[in-house]
Each structure stands twice: as C-alpha cells, then as structure tokens.
Amino acid sequence: MTDDYLARIGNLIRTSRQHRGLTQGQLAEALGTSQSAVNRMERGQQNLSLEMIARIGEALDSEIVSLGYAGPMHLRVEGGRRLSGSIDVRTSKNACVALLCASLLTTGRTTLRRVARIEEVYRILEVLSSIGVKARWTNDGRDLELTPPAELRLDAMDVAAARRTRSVLMLLGPLMHRAERFRIPYAGGCDLGTRTVLPHLTALRRFGLEVTATEGSYHARVEPGISPARAIVLTERGDTVTENALLAAARNDGVTVIRNASPNYMVQDLCFFLEQLGVKVEGIGTTTLTVHGLPEITCDVDYSPAEDPVEAMSLLAAAVVTSSELEIRRVPVEFMEIELAVLEGMGLDYDRGPEYPAHNGRTRLVDLTVRPSKLTAPADSIHPMPFPGINIDHIPFFAVIAASAHGTTLIHDWVYDNRAIYLTELTRLGADVKLLDPHRVLVQGPTVRWRATEMMCPPALRPAVVTLLGMLAAEGTSVLRNVYVINRGYEDLAERLNSLGARIETFRDI
Ligand SMILES: CC(=O)N[C@H]1[C@@H](OP(=O)(O)OP(=O)(O)OC[C@H]2O[C@@H](n3ccc(=O)[nH]c3=O)[C@H](O)[C@@H]2O)O[C@H](CO)[C@@H](O)[C@@H]1O
Ligand SMILES: C=C(OP(=O)(O)O)C(=O)O
C-alpha cells in the first residue's frame, strides 16, 4: 500500500464516519481499537490489514470502505422463532424527506430531531449537500442540522442520488422561491407502476412554475409575482402533491387555500414544521388547508418529526406472523385507528395504553401490546383510502396478516398498478396468495407451513418487508437478496428485530 493510497482510504473513512454521525471514539469502540488509532487511520498514517478494512466497512455500513467490489446487502434469516419484548417506533421516512426539502424554505438553520437514518434520507441529504447545504449529524448522530448556503449551486445537483428517490420532487416547491430556472431529474422511488407527477405540476403552475420534461429532467421556469387568485383544488388527494403545494404556499406572499388536500401523517408533520417557521396553517388534519405565506423566512427552526405509522404496522404484522407477544411503543394512533378496528374485528388480541403526545407536542401516541391471536379473515375486502382510511402503505401488511388468519381475504390495492403483484411472492414462502388481476389478490389462510427460501427482494419497500416477515415465520434459513429497498425506509430493521429475538444476519457480496 502506498502512502497516497492510505491517505485516500483515511479520507474515505473520515467522510463515511462523519456521514454516520460517529465520533472517532465511537468508531474506535466499534472496532475494538483506540481513538488515536482511528485518528492515525484517518490521516493515512496507519497500515491497515484487510481484516481491519472489512471491520471498518461493517462498523460504518459503508460501501466506500470495502474489499474490492462492495456488492448489495443481503439478509440471512433463521426463522421460526418467537419474538418478545418492547420496541419503539422511529420517525417516518415520509415526513423526514419532506422536512429535509422544507429546510430550503428558510435561510436560517434547520434542526430536525431523531431523523430516521435510512437510505431515502441519505439520498436527499446527498442531493442537498451537492447544492451547497451543510448537513451535520449532532447529538450522537440522532439529530440533523441543516444550514443552507447564501447561493444554492443548483447546477451541481447530485443527479445519481436524486434519481433514486421520488421525494426529490418535493424540491420543486421550495426551489421555486430561490431560483427562476432550475432542473430536477426524473423521480425514482418504489417500482409500483406509473406514478404521475401531473398533479404536482398542475398545482405549482398556480404559483408561476412551468415545467417541461425532457432528457430525463424536469426543466423548471418560474414567472415571478404569480400567486393563486383562488383556491387550489388538487385533482387527487396525494400526499407529496399536497406537500409541494404547501411548500410553494409557505413563501407565497398572501393566503393560499388548498382543497382536496391530503390530511395524512407526513402532511401534518410538514404543517407543524411550517408553523414553527412562523407560517400560519389552518385546517391541519382536514382536506382544506389555508396557508398564510411569508415571502421571506430567515429564522432558525427546531422540529421533532413524529413516529412512523407504517413502521408501527410493520412491527404489528411481525408480531402476528410469528405468533408473538410484543409491546410496540410510540404508535401514532390516529394513523392506525382504522387498521386496529379491522384487526380487532379479525380477532386480534391487543391492549392499548393511554395516549401521550409525540415530541412535536401534537401527534397522539400510544403503546400497544399485541398478543398471539386466532384470527379470522375479514368479511369485506381490505382496500386503501386517502386518510382517514386504511393507509395504502399498510395494505401489504394485511396480506401477510391474512395469510395467518382463517379464511379467505380479498386485498384490493386499487391505487398502485404493481404493488399487489409482489404480494404473490409470499407463495414462495408457503402462503396461498392468488393474483386475480394486477390490483387484487386473494389470500387463503392460515398458512399451513411457512417455508424457508432464498429469493431476491421485491423492488418495492413494503412488499419487501412483508417478504422478510414471512421469512421470520418460516422455520429454517432463508436468504433475502439485495435489501437496499428495505433500507430506504427502515432504520436498522434487522438489528432491531434481532433485539426482539429474531435471528437475522446481514451480509454483502465481496
Ligand atoms: C414520500 C411519500 O410521502 N410517499 C408516499 C406518498 O407518495 P406520493 O405522494 O408520491 O404518491 P403518488 O403521487 O405516487 O400517489 C400514489 C398513487 O395514488 C394515486 N392516487 C393518489 C391520491 C388520490 O387521491 N387518488 C389517486 O389515485 C396516484 O395516482 C398514484 O398512483 O403517498 C403514497 C400514497 O399514499 C405512499 O404510498 C407513499 O409512501
Ligand atoms: C411507496 C413508498 O415510498 P415512495 O413514495 O418513497 O416510493 C412507501 O413508503 O411505501
């Protein structure tokens, strides 16, 4: 190894460590070495064995420091084990990504507390860093501090990172206050079939934004001084479109009314954040939002996003499929109420503790204790509705729960073209799931025997997690390959399930 090579590896270790929010001392502890050794490594003054490089890669969960080609991450699951104990729900991917985009509304510093450390957040952070925002993990890597530059470098946007997420679309709303022309790559996200961006463009046009889509990018041009003269009526009650309209309205000089708005959890988090910025929002939690915009926002802001209902639903499903008793703490109950009512009807044995407020002081939380139950299939189909209905992202979890219930359950995902199709992957684990058409599956339960298997992760977040849950139920060793999509939305899921008694090992191709 030449000294130059050592210095380059040292730099990579430092960047990756800082990205993970670890101190040199914390990394040293994870590696079983001293802080001064880590310091020497980072300065390129320490010879590194191959074993040490591999351990650093593991400690930083980083594809940067690796042996040769660092391949995708896989999970090896030893299933058939009961889970037990308590687990706290973490903050949501969907609110965190919106709030990261919203940080561009103020010229001041944004502090977001207990941000989910997930790939989707990392992608947006890469995009924000590339355009000049300073991002720093503080408080032992729990909180995130974002400081925008005086001038954004929009031409330097990290296109590769931006393309891997759909959330980047939510930069349209804030950026239109900062630049008259800019470009955003086509949005990615879960492969769920066609997901239109038209409602976003229609809503933002009312604020003077014109977008042409060519060569893989949206080219945005803003005509200054345009404000919606009458209420914006969204053509669909989508979550991110509502957020984009809110982001545009927040710095619109005047009052904007948004009708057919989504009242869903991530939208509520964004509204609470806007209030912290001094933007008055009336109608939070309803389908009509009235926003009193501020043309300039310069204050610092400190906000705690709420807990993730979809993670709560995922953990609940984990308890059901493994016939376990689990305490799931910090469940945002308003966004689980209908799900719980349906599950109660199916025979779920659970307790719900008293309500208490989330750190944002607004979202209502409860602790749930879920016990092994004899479930029966619901008489009516399980289908999503805009909030307050069953959350679309909870539908896949009902499939795996239905596979544990007696009888036939019809799951009707009318929204996404492709998501129901991935649920048939559960048949490879022994469940009886029949595809009736691209939107409907019929689940016949209970699954007589979950079977361990090796398979690729479906390219959609929730079906991927559902597959993992099936593997937890199946006795023997299963392998789930290429789990980036799970890491997009869940923080340390394998480790956290292991803390409840699961046995999941993470490994990578070298
Ligand atoms: C970052 C984020 O917050 N992502 C969430 C957000 O994505 P997002 O807001 O991007 O959702 P989309 O715009 O893709 O909408 C989802 C699908 O629902 C359809 N649609 C939506 C609303 C409606 O009233 N009518 C209708 O038909 C859309 O055409 C699309 O096919 O909302 C989705 C639907 O809740 C969730 O799955 C995603 O997890
Ligand atoms: C569909 C989802 O995410 P995204 O909108 O990021 O693709 C999801 O969270 O299940």
Report yes or no on 71 lying in a domain.
no
pLDDT of residue 1: 42
Report yes or no on 430 lying in a domain.
yes
Collect all residues with Cβ–Cβ distance below 8 Å to 146 and sequence separation of at least 6: 100, 103, 109, 110, 111, 112, 128, 133, 134, 135
Cα separation, 380 vs 236, whole angstroms:
25
Pocket test for ligand 2, best of 121, 166, 308, 487 (most atoms within 8 A of CB): 166
DSSP 156: G
Q: How far apart are the first and last CA of the chain?
A: 20
Ligand 1 pocket check for 97: Cβ under 6 Å: yes
461 alpha carbon to ligand 2 midpoint, in Å?
7
Let me know whether 291 and 375 are in one domain: no
Last residue of a domain, one of 288, 303, 318: 303
Nearest of 399, 372, 370 to residue 383 by alpha carbon: 399
Let me know whether 240 and 204 are in one domain: yes
Let me know whether 26 and 160 are in one domain: no
Residue 239 three-state SS: helix
Let me know whether 316 and 297 are in one domain: no
Cβ contact 468:426 at 8 Å: no
- 144 has which bridge partners? 112, 137
How many residues appear in the chain?
Answer: 510
> Which domain, by its residues, includes 344?
76-90+307-508
- Atom of ligand 1 minimally distant from the CA of 166: 10
Cite the beta strand spans of 457-510 per DSSP E.
476-481, 503-508
Let me know whether 502 and 365 are in one domain: yes
For the record, the structure tokens of 474 come out as 């199946």
Let me know whether 491 and 455 are in one domain: yes
Last residue of a domain, one of 269, 303, 337: 303
Mark 219-256 as b/e (b = at least 16 C-beta within 10 Å): ebebeeeeebeeebebeebbbbbbbbbbbbbbbbeeeb
Collect all residues with Cβ–Cβ distance below 8 Å to 141 and sequence separation of at least 6: 20, 21, 22, 117
- 77 has which bridge partners? 478, 504
Nearest of 84, 53, 123 to residue 326 by alpha carbon: 84
Q: Going by DSSP bridges, is the β-strand pair 181-185/134-138 parallel, antiparallel, or unpaired? A: unpaired
Let me know whether 408 and 369 are in one domain: yes
Report yes or no on 26 lying in a domain.
yes
When divided into structural domains, the chain yields a total of 3
The protein residue with its alpha carbon nearest to ligand 1, atom 2, reads 94
**Positive or negative, the Cα torsion across 42, 47, 49, 52?**
negative
Instruction: Give this complex's ipTM.
Output: 0.97
Report yes or no on 347 lying in a domain.
yes
Let me know whether 146 and 282 are in one domain: yes
Ligand 2 pocket check for 461: Cβ under 6 Å: yes
Phi/psi at 81 (5° precision): -105, 140
**Positive or negative, the Cα torsion across 200, 203, 205, 209?**
negative
Let me know whether 39 and 127 are in one domain: no
Report yes or no on 401 lying in a domain.
yes
Let me know whether 169 and 277 are in one domain: yes
- 368 has which bridge partners? 328, 352
- Ligand number with the minimum distance to the CA of 120: 2
The protein residue with its alpha carbon nearest to ligand 1, atom 6, reads 239
Let me know whether 177 and 84 are in one domain: no
Maximum Cα–Cα distance across the chain: 69
- 75 has which bridge partners? 480, 506
Let me know whether 325 and 285 are in one domain: no
Cβ contact 269:309 at 8 Å: no
Collect all residues with Cβ–Cβ distance below 8 Å to 126 and sequence separation of at least 6: 158, 161
**Positive or negative, the Cα torsion across 226, 231, 234, 235?**
negative
- Name the CA dihedral angle for 461, 464, 465, 467, rounded to a multiple of 10 degrees: 160
Report yes or no on 402 lying in a domain.
yes
For tokens 């058409």, the residue is 437
Report yes or no on 127 lying in a domain.
yes
Cα separation, 279 vs 296, whole angstroms:
10
- Ligand number with the minimum distance to the CA of 417: 1
Last residue of a domain, one of 257, 287, 303: 303
Residuewise pLDDT in 10s, the chain (510 residues): 445 678 878 888 887 787 778 899 999 988 889 999 999 999 988 888 777 887 888 788 765 454 444 679 999 999 999 999 999 999 999 999 999 999 999 999 999 999 999 999 999 999 999 999 999 999 999 999 999 999 999 999 999 999 999 999 999 999 999 999 999 998 776 665 667 889 999 999 999 999 998 878 899 999 999 999 999 999 999 999 999 999 999 999 999 999 999 999 999 999 999 999 999 999 999 999 999 999 999 999 999 999 999 999 999 999 999 999 999 999 999 999 999 999 999 999 999 999 999 999 999 999 999 999 999 999 999 999 999 999 999 999 999 999 999 999 999 999 998 899 999 999 999 999 999 999 999 999 999 999 999 999 999 999 999 999 999 999 999 999 999 999 999 999 999 999 999 999 999 876
Collect all residues with Cβ–Cβ distance below 8 Å to 300 and sequence separation of at least 6: 106, 108, 109, 110, 111
483 alpha carbon to ligand 2 midpoint, in Å?
15
- Atom of ligand 1 minimally distant from the CA of 237: 24
262 alpha carbon to ligand 1 midpoint, in Å?
10
User: At CA 93, angle to CA 87 and CA 97, rounded to 5?
Assistant: 150
- Ligand number with the minimum distance to the CA of 391: 1
446 alpha carbon to ligand 2 midpoint, in Å?
28
pLDDT of residue 378: 98
Report yes or no on 24 lying in a domain.
yes
Using only C-alpha atoms, what is the Rg of the chain? Answer: 23
pLDDT of residue 68: 45
Mark 345-377 as b/e (b = at least 16 C-beta within 10 Å): ebebebeeeeeeebbbebbebbbbbbebbebeb
Cβ contact 157:130 at 8 Å: yes
DSSP 60: H
- Atom of ligand 1 minimally distant from the CA of 98: 1
Cα separation, 429 vs 453, whole angstroms:
6
Residue 114 three-state SS: coil
Cite the beta strand spans of 187-226 per DSSP E.
209-214, 217-222
CATH number, domain with residue 42:
1.10.260.40
pLDDT of residue 69: 47
CATH number, domain with residue 453:
3.65.10.10
How does DSSP assign 247-310, residue by residue? HHHHTSSSEEEEES----HHHHHHHHHHHHTT-EEE-TTSSEEEEE--S-----EEE-PPB-HH
